[in-house]
Amino acid sequence: MSVKDFNGILLVTLCAYFIVLLAGQIYVKLGYFRGSNITTGITHDWLGTLYEAGRGFRYYSLSTEPSYAAFIVVVLFYAYIESSQTKLSKKGNILIWFILLYMLLFFQSAYGVILMAVLIISKTTLRNSIFIIFIGVIIFLIAAVMKQPAAERVFNLIANVNLSNLENIGSVDYSASFRILPSYFYVSKFNFFDFYSYLGFGAGQSENFLIPLLFDVPMDTFQGGFMPQFIYDYGLIFGFIFLVFLRSEVLPKFISFESFVIFLMLTNANFNTQLFWFTITCFALLKFYKKRKHTESTSRKF
């Protein structure tokens, strides 16, 4: 397909996420959601809706949970802007920009807050840096006044996490601990002289390693991120092969917005997940079209 077709698919998919989010909100508003009287835990219902005790309603549209949805809509937006070769401030992109912000607001994912901040920074130039800083301060103040849960979680982590005693991060943010502690335990207990560290301990063995470290009660299974579960199961050598694939086919360069998104995504999604392959596919196609455009422009010069 042409880059124009690719760009159109990205926009249609982004709008589809927005439409389903609105449908989910209407579904809740009309009183069709069941389970909002729970006192502990989380209840999921139709149209990407969930109710979390003590936190209220959250949404995830066409995805499987809020953090996945936040990643996907940011990836869609970024790939759309990059493939269309337009600026964020272009009049036609303003509406899409606000659609993205609206979705991230109601997904209430801390990942969404982090990704949005890095997206803005990555698009900042010296020419508009003062304006971007001003907007950033305004967004920060609005989030603080409205007590936006996702933003509060990020601020709370920054303020209260003690890097010298990282194992106690669960007391600061229980959810974040399951994204950070697995990699922490993997690195802290890594054995350079163990043959299996390089070729892997086998499929599913990371659960036997992590569950006793993460939980005080018996658990049947734990589905964490690519880091460290894939690395533990299949070894550093296959992890290195994956990095070579990323640099060759997916990343424009190691220090880039794409690299940051993928690094963050790998703490949240393992190999066989919707988020993993959606992100990889979007960025791989984006790199392909950029490379083809560069080749065509170079050939015209000669």
What's residue 220's pLDDT?
79
More confident position, 234 or 177: 234
The per-residue pLDDT for range 90-130, each reduced to its tens digit, is 667 788 888 998 899 899 888 888 898 888 888 776 555 56
pLDDT single digits (tens) 239-291: 999 999 999 999 998 889 999 999 999 999 998 898 999 999 999 999 999 88
Angstrom distance (rounded) from CA 143 to CA 46:
28
Given a cut of 80, whether residue 198 has pLDDT beyond it is: yes
Predicted structure pTM score: 0.86
127: number of Cβ within 10 Å: 8
Strands laid side by side in the 49-52 sheet: 42-45, 49-52, 56-59
What is the model's pLDDT at position 103? Answer: 94
- Predicted confidence at residue 226, as pLDDT, reads 92
**Number of residues that make up the chain:** 302
Higher confidence at residue 278 or residue 162?
278
Q: Measured between alpha carbons, how far is 257 from 262 in angstroms, rounded to an integer?
A: 9
Angle (CA) 239-265-118 rounded to 5° is 125
> Region 146-166: what's the mean pLDDT?
69
Joined together, the tokens standing for residue 171 give 């007391």
Share of the chain above pLDDT 90, in %: 49
Taking residues 33-39, what's their average pLDDT? Answer: 81
Quick one: how far is CA 62 from the chain centroid?
Answer: 15
